[in-house]
Amino acid sequence: MNNMNTVPSNNKEVTQDKFAKLKTEGVSLYYGAFQALRNVALDIPSCAITAIIGPSGCGKSSLLRLFNRMNDLIPQARVSGNVKLDGIPIYNPKIDVVELRRRVGMVFQKPNPFPMSVFENVAFGPRRHGSKSRFELAEIVEKSLRHAALWEEVNDKLEQSALALSGGQQQRLCIARVLAVEPEVILMDEPCSALDPVATLKIEDLMRNLAEDYTIVIVTHNMQQAARVSDMTAFMMMEQDRAGVVVEYGPTSQLFTNPKDKRTEDYITGRFG
């Protein structure tokens, strides 16, 4: 197939042999009688960006929500197989789900700042986890906003409503809110779909910087974005019964320039999807 000139040349050399921060082993997901995912097996490498791509309805977001048990909130959802964080099965009944969601944070498709000040948005999580001192909270807020590349834009607006920020600033604020509780993994469900191109590039630059210290898994419909920012890519499709499956998974540069499966090539070149 033709090479895609959107594939970056500076992505990390990441392979599935690198330490797996997250791992799925034969995972299937059901909503009542409907099977949403079938036999998913992935090793998500540490301190890298893994993109999940595929046509609408193939289970990308359902797969993402497995990693911090957000599907638990959906009635009649059940999981078979193993999902592991640092080798520990997270669907073990003894797992503290609140602590799991601190370690595995989530950024949603549309920015969802709380209707409170910029400061209180970022301080919310640390307060819930026991940080009470205003001085301690101020340090956490500044550090988190700096890591989210937002401090310079809002340091004089900390007491203003977060809802007054632009869409791109709100999304970076939501990322800062996740960072404030010191996660190890950041899940991003189409984090740029509601943003303009300038704000999108800022989020992409931020993701690349964060991947030095955090494991990032992103769902995106934008294949150019996946090619630009990710180190590994999983391509998903629906089978005839509408169950989502992983067709191909590997280093992004390989998947976009020399895919092993014809269905991957057809999707990337726009023949379907």
Express each pLDDT in 167-195 by its tens digit.
Answer: 999 999 999 999 999 999 999 999 999 89
- State the pLDDT at residue 130: 82
How far apart CA 131 and CA 36 sit, in angstroms, is 39
Write out pLDDT tens, residues 207-245. Answer: 999 999 999 999 999 999 999 999 999 999 999 999 999
Give yes or no for a contact between 101 and 153, defined as CB atoms under 8 angstroms apart: no
Write out pLDDT tens, residues 68-106. Answer: 999 999 989 999 999 999 999 999 999 999 999 999 999
Question: How many Cα atoms are found within 13 Å in the side-chain-facing hemisphere of 18?
Answer: 18
Provide the domain count of the chain: 1
- Any idea of the CA torsion for 58, 64, 65, 67, to the nearest 10 degrees? 140
Mark 173-184 as b/e (b = at least 16 C-beta within 10 Å).
bbbbbbbbbbbb
How far apart CA 78 and CA 99 sit, in angstroms, is 20
Establish if 5 belongs to a structural domain.
Answer: no
* pLDDT score of 16 more than 70: no
Establish if 12 belongs to a structural domain.
Answer: no
Domain CATH code at residue 232: 3.40.50.300
pLDDT band per the 50, 70, 90 thresholds, residue 43: very high
* Host domain of residue 216: 20-268
Q: Which of 127, 109, 108, 107 is nearest to 117 (CA)?
A: 127
- State the pLDDT at residue 10: 43
pTM for the whole thing? 0.91
Contact residues for 56 (Cβ-Cβ < 8 A; gap 6+): 221
Establish if 14 belongs to a structural domain.
Answer: no
Contact residues for 145 (Cβ-Cβ < 8 A; gap 6+): 122, 151, 154, 155, 173, 176
Establish if 11 belongs to a structural domain.
Answer: no
Establish if 13 belongs to a structural domain.
Answer: no
- State the pLDDT at residue 12: 55
* pLDDT score of 5 more than 70: no
Establish if 191 belongs to a structural domain.
Answer: yes
Establish if 7 belongs to a structural domain.
Answer: no
Establish if 171 belongs to a structural domain.
Answer: yes
